[in-house]
Amino acid sequence: QMFCVPTVYLDRDVMGRDPGHGVTINSLLLRPKATGRVTLRDAHPASLPVIDTQIFGHPDDLARTLAGFHFARGMIAASPIADMIEQEIFPGAEVTGDEAIAAHCKRMVKTGYHPVGTCRMGHEQDPMAVVTADLRVRGLGKLRVVDASVMPNIISGNTNAAVMAVAHRAADLIAGRERVVEETRCVEVLS
């Protein structure tokens, strides 16, 4: 997914340039192959969890990120955008080799803020699933999880619509409403 921001967009950890006129293009890997982990730090309920995102934990993720970077750089170099660009700020036009670009990507990588799957929903035979189809935590019948953490896989895009669908279904389950789904039959017409 390509993000285009019509300004020089800088995160807090990037110094040396004031935000201003310009354009920022970022590529976001929608389906990373690496899988992270969230674990408890200790037994204290106020302690923050340990989050290991495993960003670039799979070599394909870095390769696909490099491809996204090259695509973004190619867009900026193409007319008519190229006519409006004075200079490349980050990482700079002098950074050309994949090793140097990979170092830049590793420094600037972000999650897209849509992690999922920490309380995976799935069948009883799935050893990674801790939530049932009715959103109950296995072994704790009165506790449900209703957020993006139940999604077994990340979707291609923002998770807000999928989370709203999960919440809508959870409301029906909690209220005891049965939803009737009509079966649709498809008929193939041979000519």
Q: Could you list the active site residues?
A: 114
- Positions of E strands within 17-78: 24-27, 37-39, 50-52
CA distance 131 to 68: 35
Q: Distance of CA 16 to CAs 33, 90, 104, Å?
A: 33, 11, 15
Phi, psi (5° rounding) for residue 67? -60, -40
Check the CA dihedral 101-104-108-109 and report its sign.
positive
Nearest to 33 by CA among 3, 1, 63: 63
Distance CA 44, CA 149 (A): 22
